[in-house]
Amino acid sequence: MKSVNKKILMIAVIAAAVILTAIGFFTLPDTLVMQIKLSGESGTTMPKALGLAVPFAITAILSFMYYKSSNIKHLVGSLIGILIYILIFIFNM
């Protein structure tokens, strides 16, 4: 893939993470449920800032690593970071 296309893809994925972080900061509760037990109860919880920072860091770091190395595994990992955001919204809405 061309360097320009990889740069655009990296910026788009990181921009999506920034937008999801901003939406989550304003709409989600102060304590986020990160896991749900088999019984349906909330399992692991985190403060909102940390709970939104973890998937952002995963997405941003792996997107940058994809841009530098062209390893498709890094791109898949950064998209998993976006999936983590989606799960956070599902668990907490």
Q: Where are the alpha helices (DSSP H) in the chain?
A: 3-27, 48-69, 72-92
d(CA 85, CA 17): 8
Enter the pTM of the model: 0.89
Any bridge partners for residue 42, and if so which?
36
pLDDT tens digits, 17-54: 999 999 999 999 999 998 888 888 888 899 999 999 99
Say how many C-beta atoms besides its own lie within 10 A of residue 19's C-beta. 11
Q: Which amino acid is residue 15, in one-letter code?
A: A
